[in-house]
Structure 1
Amino acid sequence: MKLALSALQFFYCPALFLAGSAMAQNNETTSVEMYDFLYNIVGDDPGAGWADSYNIGDECFCSITTFDHGIGVMLVEWKEGYWASVEDICNALGEPPDLNMTQLGVSIPVYNDVQCGRGPPNDAGDEHRCPGRVDMGPEGCGQLGPFWNTTKLEETLLDKNAAITPIPAGVHPDIQFVLNLTTTTEPGGEGWHDSYSVGDECFCSTTFDHDIGEAVVDTPFGFLTLLQACTLLGPGPGAENRPVYNDVQCGNGPPNDAGDEQICPGRVDIGAEGCGHIGPKWNWDKVPANVTIPPYVASSSSDNWFWRGFGFPAAIMLVLALACS
């Protein structure tokens, strides 16, 4: 929820009710054109020139992009068990017929990342802070469009799953996929790790640096920031003597903005060959359905992650909301 008003404005319950009503109306208005609206995004001041994607109806297309900041070579799981580079995915999607390029950012919504706000983000940093629309100022940062059309991708990519290789003998049993990476990046060992695996579960183990705490992920509990998601998932039994991975979800993303996680998402404890070793995903089944979601208030400070995640204004709003219920 966007906490644009100060704590004093929420002092009385009627004010809290009116504010909530206004937000609901805003969501209803934007949902006519958009598909999801993120209240907790307070992004940069973007421009249409930032766009890497756009949507026509319920389909997302990659915009004219140079695939810079490491995004073109990044491998993503576009369908369960099927991986491809972002560039190959964009090429497979193509362009809609009769596209009027002059209308991009005018009558056609445009977005900061390559999948209409759905990720993955590149390593520039702004796509973590402002994943959504870039043609309507900061308020567009939290407005997300549709996903890529996987039916269209299946026509081209389903029989070309060259991004993964058969899992070799001797690979740790936690590993789900071995990606065919060409990177020469030599990971920095256990000091780089942001997650670890235990059997078929992945656990966060991160300081939320490089803007990753700001990243928003879709969960069974709605859209959450990485900080909120990792808090709900819990710390797990500990990373000692476990496979450890470069990103926060055992190689499954999202990457931070340091640059290395786009090209080396996997294990960082066995040298460069581990970059493509992808472990399990987070296990949301273990999180109780009635769990309390940690409050979140966005901040321009990238260092003060504690107050950004559990800020005083958010706590005040939560207390007052409970008191008025």
Structure 2
Amino acid sequence: MAVLRPDITRRLLSRRELIRVGGLGALGLGLPALRAGRAATLAGRPRANSCLIIFLSGGPPQHETFDPKPAAPIEIRGPFLPIATSVPGLQFSELLPLSAARAHRMCVIRSMTTGIHSHSTSGAFMLTGHEPTSVAESVPPSAQDWPSLAGAVGALRAAERSPLDAVILPEPIFNNPAIPWPGQNGGFMGAAWHPHILRCDPSQERIEIEGLTAAAGVTELRLDDRHALLGQVDRMLHRGLRSPAIAEMNRFQQEAFDLLHAGATREALEIEREPAASRDRYGRGKFGQSVLLGRRLIEAGVRLVQVNWPREPGDTAAGNPLWDTHQDNAGRLKNVLCPQFDTAYSALLDD
């Protein structure tokens, strides 16, 4: 993974790049490791430049998705049958026919487990790659947490074509009652490396993203003037108070301003530009359109996009929120969950 852009030796380091390099020490990367990493990079640069994570909050059951147990009795394997896929010898659940037809484009890993029985801390393990110090349920985030994958990507390989390094959409993951999961931010690297959370509903005709939509009648020139004035006020406040909270607020304001001026990324957020047939292929629900929006952001240069399964009306109930189907498991999987996932995921593979 490249640490600095190729032209870095031809100019002075920016403040952001100095912070990025300095932060590598906190991750245990000394100069020898950096040199070794650079040599490995020169020997064979990875082909992947971006990553799109689909996180099915609540935990999809393996038997009814990618790992059916055809030889097990019905009380173990459930009521759904296995079907053949495009890979000989590999079977999926009958609830994923579109994915089964595209299995040759996947690498299915059936052996991964965390050993943690709590949703939030098990999820934090998956999103950071490090086991949390507490494995209890509903543990809120702390400044001592390991950074998320999204935070690490922003620190180690910033986007070159977009003001956004990493994005989480359409909402963060939280437990009932509204306790956010750890493992979704910059952790011990600090707030400067929190990924940008786009709270939105892309299934709407025109999405409105909190904090990223200019008010009606505000032209680009007026926006520039307001931004310059706001910068003067912020600098005065920052000199007087030296507050980390003000510095963090300034960062998000700058990101929002940059995004409003970034043509490709701004256009990617205008999902109404997508042809109707393409939107139909992903499914018109909030999840399907979020996956489509994630694809558009990747194409616009965002390094990492994490699409979380969103809560639907009623999903705040304790019985069966998200993929946590303690009640009506078969009905939820057959009629609500698997069809939406299968439709969006297969469309993403096709694109």
Question: TM-score over 0.5 for the alignment?
Answer: no
TM-score by length of 2: 0.27
Q: From the two aligned structures, give the one with the greater strand fraction.
A: 1
TM-score by length of 1: 0.28
Q: Which has the larger radius of gyration?
A: 2
